[in-house]
Chain A
Amino acid sequence: MQLIFEKSVRGRIGASLPESDVPERRNLIDKELVREELELPEVSEVDVVRHYTALSQRNFGVDNGFYPLGSCTMKYNPKIKAIINSKVSLR
């Protein structure tokens, strides 16, 4: 399977961000300290979802079956716990 980097298409972005709502100030950082290149992948949201869903299908967890490895093996946890743990109102 390809790496996420190999699916990169120049100009694509997976998330939209708001415009700045404060007056812009320039030259806040010494030019020599500012980064020019940043080679992170450029992919759309659906590219991300499909890529990592495909990777999840190439993985085996406790929900798939018995996983008899290691003393610190993750045991099955009732799903109610996962739901409560991820509740934003409890964060």
Chain B
Amino acid sequence: MDFIPNTDEGRKLMLRDINIEKISDLFKDIPDKLLLKENLKIPKGLSEIEIKDLMKKISEKKRINFSYFLGAGAYKHFIPSVVNHIISRSEFYTSYTPYQAEISQGLLQAIYEYQTMICELTGMDVANASMYDGASALAESCIMAANITKRNQILISKTIHPNYRQVVKTYCKAHDFSFDEINFEDGLTAINELKEKISENTAALLIQNPNFFGCIEDLRKIEEIVHNNGALLNVCVVEPTSLGILNSPGSFKADIVTGEGQSFGNPVNFGGPYLGIIATKQEYVRQIPGRIVGATVDRGGKKGYVLNLQTREQHIRREKATSNICSNEALCALAATIHLATLGKSGLKKVAELCLQKAHYLADEFVKAGLEMEFKSDFYNEFVVQVNNAKKVNSELLNDRIVSGLELGKYYSELENCLLFCVTELNTREEIDRLVEVVKECN
């Protein structure tokens, strides 16, 4: 179908209505030499029948029926069928940002429920209506911390996802921040190096939990060091199903919690869309970027929901805005809300328990097969294992329709020939055993 349904007759009526003769008159303010004279070299549009045929041919090229053991920031989890069923309702998926509260009560209430669930999971007082993704949310947490503490040094643990660290530096380029990275020991943020590098100019420590290697950081010790130096503790949760089993970052006195919500109801697509989470304490609510959906009552005393604290450039002066980049990802947040409501408290705990048990089963089987674990620290559903030739192992696995773990040498020179494996509730014992068999043969 055509995107623009106007007929020639309709165009004529519109031109007459605004008192011009031809469409090109609309562009007469543009200097003639800049005007495009011929059509763009884009093929003609296809009919629906032709599109279906073309897409069918493309989809046949896709290789299917793989087993997946790759995580590292994007996680393949079970998504209850109700999630897709509800987010496919066009009142939701064709709605705009709910600026006009009168016609958006449904979405506003859903976001309000989302924020409440995020507060519960993170142990924070307030969550915003969502952000682009986990990495940009983490970057926003640096800006928040600098504004709150009036300091400009940001400490970043090297156990944070390498892509996230890159995004943080790019995103904050225009700010006058100094970034210092903290190395790891046995897969965990090196406490001694943290003690050395933290200063009276440190705005925040950024730490991921479970970290990029899947290891569970001991936030109790870290929290003390950070707060004794007057800095903020910014905890990033990239695999949030872990919150079904691990204590909330808030319970370890985190000041700002960010995260990636893709694990909740959003499938692994070719790069997105993702769901950025950011939550903080009540005292920092005015520093939180984006907007928050708040509950209120109308003139008649009836409960209603509105967008609050929209300190973006559209609403206040650019330089006064908390962020001029962020947006919210309402449909992804809705998917997460429905996902969490459907699983509920026992369901999310069970998902986390299955991830934990199955990942440890794989690790145990690898060790039995003679492989060595790179770190001895406790882990959730990802872990690092050493092989003789990571590239060879991965290509052999791919031939056997197994998507293997991430090769870490590309990101950490000291972890050459180390693979980061991920196991979720979707991986069966049979699949895991087959993976171990193939690795054993080709290593």
Contact = CB atoms under 8 A, between A and B. Distances in A.
Interface of A: 1, 3-5, 8, 12-15, 17-18, 20-25, 28-30, 32-35, 38-43, 45, 48-49, 51-64, 67, 69-70, 72-78, 80, 82, 84, 86-87, 89-91
A86 B96 contact: no
A3 B109 contact: yes
Interface of B: 1, 3, 48, 51-52, 55, 58-59, 62, 64, 78, 80, 82, 84-86, 88-97, 99-100, 103-107, 109-110, 112-113, 116-117, 120-121, 216, 218, 220, 243-248, 267-270, 303, 334, 337-338, 340-351, 353-354, 356-358, 360-361, 364, 378, 380, 425, 428-429, 432
B110 A90 contact: no
A60 B103 CA distance: 6
B324 to A, nearest CB: 14
Contacts of B89: 52-53, 56
Contacts of B248: 35
A55 B247 CA distance: 32
Nearest to A40: B345
A73 to B, nearest CB: 5
A77 to B, nearest CB: 8
A59 B104 contact: yes
B216 A43 contact: no
Given A22-B358, A40-B344, A64 B64 contact: no
A58 B90 contact: no
A75 B432 CA distance: 45
A74 B330 CA distance: 13
Given A35-B246, A59-B95, A63-B91, 5 more contacts: A17-B350, A17-B425, A21-B429, A48-B338, A90-B58
Contacts of B347: 13-15, 17
Shortest 3 CB-CB distances between A and B: which pairs?
A: A59-B106, A61-B94, A14-B342
* Residue with the greatest number of chain B CB neighbours at <10 A, chosen from A14, A40, A67, A78: A40
Given A33-B247, A49-B82, A90-B55, A1 B109 contact: yes
A59 B105 contact: yes
Contacts of B48: 78, 80
B237 to A, nearest CB: 13
Contacts of B90: 61-64
Given A17-B78, A22-B357, A61 B55 contact: no
Contacts of B220: 32
Nearest to A54: B106
A42 B113 contact: no
Given A40-B344, A63-B91, A69-B99, A20 B59 contact: no
Contacts of B84: 86
B426 to A, nearest CB: 10
A70 B97 contact: yes
B133 to A, nearest CB: 18
Contacts of A29: 216, 245-246, 356, 378, 380
Given A13-B343, A40-B344, A89 B64 contact: yes
Given A15-B347, A67-B96, A86-B88, A33 B110 contact: no
Nearest to B99: A69
A32 B428 CA distance: 29
Contacts of B105: 55, 58-59
Contacts of B428: 21
A57 B353 CA distance: 36
Contacts of B112: 3
